[in-house]
Structure 1
Amino acid sequence: MKLAKSLFLGSVAGLAAVAGAQAADLPAKKAAAVEYVRVCSTYGAGFFYIPGTETCLRVGGRVRAEFRYLEPQTRLDDSIGFRARGRIQLDARTATAYGLLRTFVRFEITRDTGSYGFSTSTPNVDQAFIQFGGLTAGRVVSMFDNADLPTGHMGTLRFSDAPNVNLFAYTFSFGNGFSATISAEEGRFAGTNFGTTPFFTEAGQTAPDLVGNLKYAGTWGGVQLSGALHQIRSADLVPVGLGLFDYPDAELGWAIYGSGYVNLPMLGAGDALWIAATYADGALGYLGAGSNVTVGQVRGFLTDAYIGVNGDIETGAGWSVAGGLRHYWTPTIRQNVFGSYARVEYPNTPPAGFVGPFDLDFNEWRLGTNVFWSPVSGLDIGVEVLYANIDTSAPEPIGVNNNIWEGRLRVQRDF
């Protein structure tokens, strides 16, 4: 019995040894490596490496809640309104042998009611662009404007206030803060008529606006000088003699812009003073207005051009200047004081077919201030008051109001 038991145990041990040797010869499956998200500090806070790539990504956004009071002119006018705006943005950057490759996209949806206008929810591709070395292509702030200005206002000031446009641009960096940019941009148009009577019909655009700038940014502040050329073509047939009609020759509108800001650390950390001035002839869209400027019950019309009595294209002209001061009373409480003045003029040649005095020149000025409290980083709670006034060279009926008061309350979180 003992012999049989010994033989049985020996057989089991032998089989186990053989099975173990065979198992050792089989390929072993390794556990999958865990890939952790790595912080990318090259481009600032909030960036991380997309796993498996050398591309750094930052996810950000904004929520803005705003309440607006606008002095009503009639009983039908809304004097109050609400705005809610949501923003999501992605910023992807990759270092290459040719320089930085950057892709940026920003989506916004705004819900306005009351004094903000019609009750609408408006989705918007606010920005979407690619940068590769000196090339910028897509939708981004116009190269005509200085996006670095520390403006800080909520309401409207009358100057070219960094609108987003579609463009193809190239920037030459010279070092020590100096750069120059040339850009082909979507046309920036003012209105094409006065009121409801057309005096100029825009023809199809055959050339983009050409924009260029020279810029310097340093520790003390920065300056920028910009210029733009704007094509003016008419679709209106005009008499050329002997009962014949033809289109007038195209004209070239233009605009020039200068701006600058100075940091004022002697007053307080973060304090700054800024100014921006624009002159435009035949390119009034660069003044920061659309087809008209309305204050109270008075409206000033803008048009790049119109057809004169001689059948030629006549251009409107105008200029604007804006400026402001930002001051931090404490590290969390800041105040902005700002204002603007704009003047638009037309030659004293009445448009063809115009009945009555051609007297549509106007000037407008605005003045305001706000105070923001930022209890934590990225959160702004602010109030603003703004006054605006307009005067036209045409006689105004008695009792017509040409000035307004406006107030806003804003809560905003950026992340």
Structure 2
Amino acid sequence: MKLVKSLLLGTAAGIAAVAGAQAADLPSRKAAPVEYVRVCTAYGAGFFYIPGTDTCLRVGGRVRAEMGFAERWSRGGDGYGTRSYGRVQLDARTQTAFGTLRAFIRQDIYSRSAFIRGGSRDQFYGAVTGGDENTPAMDKAFIQFGPITAGKAQSFFDFYASDLGFKGVINSDHSPNLFAYTATFGGGFSATLSLEDPSMSVNRGAIGGLRAEGNSWPDVVASLRVDQGWGSAQLAGVIANRGTYNVVAGGGVIGNRASTDDTGWAIEGGVKLNLPMLAAGDYLWIQGTYADGALGYLGVGSTSMNLGRLVLGAVPDYVVNPVTGSLKSSSGYSVLAALRHYWTPTIRQELYAAYTALDVPATGAFLGDARKVNPKLLQLGTAVIWSPVAGLDLGVEVLYQRLETGRRVADAKLANFGLPQVGIKSEDAFQGRLRIQRDF
């Protein structure tokens, strides 16, 4: 019996040894290395390394819903307007021997309905008459490589750029296609020279009798800026090519200016002061702008100087004398101030005010009054915003506007309701808005 057990044990041991030897000859299968997402701290919160690269990426976005209210100015107009708005943005940065290489893209999509209209325009969203409107909009798409910025970016002329408020006040806030070079110095000082496409978002005013023939060169922007612990300050100027014109009157060209470029200009200065002595996160903006032949750099667009009853139409950069065919430029200035104050860490209030005055050459008469229209617009607004959790804003805003003119203009409300015209020289308007917004 013992002999049988010995033979069985010996046989089992031999089989195990042979099997082990054969297994050692088989190819081994090792698990592939796992590439974990790593946090990138070089450029602030939210960045991570794209697996397998040395590029840091931040994915962000915004969802916003809002509803505005105002007086109805016509039978066909609504007393409220709504808008939903979505944003997705990507920020990719790589450190190189020449400095940071950055690519940034921000895509917005708007859905608007139930327009609040005055005449043929929308008081809140600039939309046309009709049903729902879904509009994609490329807000930003640019590359930065060391001192170079190229693509669709915030104009280097802009400073305040509608930083506060839901509706906000008139100011220069646009993102053209541009090519810019920024030189940085010690102490937070920098200087930028930028070539910017004015056709992207800057109003280029023309009026009856003028036919634009196109631009010969882009707008040239130069700015000096300082950023330090107390805040920021900037001085910027622009030479704005407003293109060539044919002056048309009586059905024919009476003054051909196709060989001459009409050049406007604007200058802007502003300061942003941090006010931690009031509360953490408080700051104050103060800004002033003057423009001649380039009113778009005041923030004056095709409808921005209109109110519900007092509708001026498009304010021109140039006006033509229908007799001589000569051109005269429009000029104007604006001043604004805006304050953000935190009453508590989660409740803040924003206050803003602006005054814009234009000198527009006379273009005709209404009710026998041939004086210049020269609009002047006062805007006062405030918003109270509650942020119960990080990234979520719930707020309400009220905006008051008063528009005055140097001569009587048509009363759009009387026209909309089919009543006899008497003309008006001033108009007051209130607007309200509710908003909820989530940033991530």
2:385/2:393 contact within 8 Å kept: yes
2:240/2:263 contact within 8 Å kept: yes
Amino acid at match of 1:362: P
Amino acid at match of 1:39: V
Amino acid at match of 1:233: G
- Whether 1:128 and 2:141 are equivalent positions in the alignment is yes
Partner of 1:263: 274
Could you tell me which runs of 5 or more consecutive residues in structure 1 were left unpaired when the two chains were aligned: none
Partner of 1:276: 287
- Whether 1:377 and 2:390 are equivalent positions in the alignment is yes
Greater CA deviation, 334-343 or 398-407? 398-407
1:326/1:336 contact within 8 Å kept: yes
- Whether 1:413 and 2:426 are equivalent positions in the alignment is no
Partner of 1:319: 333
- For these two proteins, the number of residue pairs brought into alignment is 403
1:192/1:200 contact within 8 Å kept: no
- Give the Cα separation in 2 of the matches to 1:25 and 1:246: 92
Partner of 1:137: 150
- Give the Cα separation in 1 of the matches to 2:271 and 2:245: 39
1:158/1:321 contact within 8 Å kept: no
Partner of 1:158: 170
- Give the Cα separation in 2 of the matches to 1:399 and 1:375: 48
State the shift of 1:84 in Å: 0.6
Amino acid at match of 1:382: G
- Match among 310, 326, 345 for residue 298 of structure 1: 310
State the shift of 1:69 in Å: 0.4
| Percentage of matched positions with identical amino acids | 48
- Give the Cα separation in 2 of the matches to 1:167 and 1:37: 34
State the shift of 1:296 in Å: 2.2
Q: Secondary structure at the match of 1:253?
A: strand
Q: Secondary structure at the match of 1:30?
A: coil
- Give the Cα separation in 2 of the matches to 1:274 and 1:244: 47
Amino acid at match of 2:226: Y
Partner of 2:96: 96
TM-score when normalising by structure 1: 0.89
Amino acid at match of 1:49: Y
The correspondence of residues 10-409 of structure 1 with structure 2, limited to 5 A, is 13-14=13-14, 16-114=16-114, 115=116, 116=124, 117=127, 118=129, 119-146=132-159, 151-160=163-172, 162-187=173-198, 189-194=202-207, 198-236=208-246, 246-247=256-257, 249-292=260-303, 293-300=305-312, 301-308=314-321, 309-347=323-361, 357=370, 359-396=372-409, 398=422, 400=424, 402-409=427-434
C-alpha distance after superposition, 1:253-277 (max 9, x if no partner): 1111111111111111111111111
Greater CA deviation, 5-14 or 335-344? 5-14
- Give the Cα separation in 2 of the matches to 1:129 and 1:59: 16
Return closer, same or farther for 1:150/1:217 CA change in 2, 3 Å cut-off: farther
Return closer, same or farther for 1:319/1:23 CA change in 2, 3 Å cut-off: same
State the shift of 1:157 in Å: 0.8
Return closer, same or farther for 1:307/1:204 CA change in 2, 3 Å cut-off: same
State the shift of 1:103 in Å: 1.0
State the shift of 1:40 in Å: 1.1
Q: Which stretches of structure 1, 4 residues or more, deviate above 6 A after TM superposition?
A: 1-9
Return closer, same or farther for 1:70/1:47 CA change in 2, 3 Å cut-off: same
C-alpha distance after superposition, 1:111-161 (max 9, x if no partner): 1122244431111111111111111111111111125x784211141221x
Greater CA deviation, 261-270 or 210-219? 261-270
2:162/2:168 contact within 8 Å kept: no
Q: Secondary structure at the match of 2:20?
A: helix
Greater CA deviation, 178-187 or 69-78? 69-78
Could you tell me which runs of 5 or more consecutive residues in structure 2 were left unpaired when the two chains were aligned: 117-123, 410-420
2:91/2:102 contact within 8 Å kept: yes
State the shift of 1:342 in Å: 0.6
Q: Secondary structure at the match of 1:319?
A: strand
Amino acid at match of 1:345: D
- Give the Cα separation in 1 of the matches to 2:302 and 2:347: 37
Return closer, same or farther for 1:362/1:269 CA change in 2, 3 Å cut-off: same
Return closer, same or farther for 1:150/1:121 CA change in 2, 3 Å cut-off: closer
Return closer, same or farther for 1:246/1:399 CA change in 2, 3 Å cut-off: closer
Amino acid at match of 2:355: Y
1:192/1:201 contact within 8 Å kept: no
State the shift of 1:185 in Å: 0.9
